[in-house]
Amino acid sequence: MKITIEIDCTPEEARSFMGLPDVSAANNVYVENLTKAMQGVSSPDQLQQYASALAPMGQMGMKLFQNFVEGSMKAAAGAAGSKKSSD
């Protein structure tokens, strides 16, 4: 049996329903500071260096996230492959 439920709501309503905190004020501060900092960037190298510094845990955080995404994609591809072979 398969049941599908579709809920039409805004992101704010979904966060409230799930009990997640409202982080819009923190996001606004982050975006404002990022915008101010980017006004002084004059080359792509500066932009890449600045983006790496802003990422959580710097370069290590970016690599960790990349490895997580790649691992998830491989796991999903493996699951899809084993499902097809069992059909």
What are 17-48's pLDDT values in tens digits?
A: 888 888 888 888 878 877 777 777 677 777 67
- Same domain for 43 and 21, yes or no, is yes
Domain count across the chain: 2
Instruction: Please indicate, yes or no, whether residues 13 and 45 belong to a single structural domain of this protein.
Output: yes
Residue that has been written with the tokens 């710097």 in this structure? 58
14 shares a domain with 48 = yes
Model confidence, pTM: 0.39
Given a cut of 60, whether residue 77 has pLDDT beyond it is yes
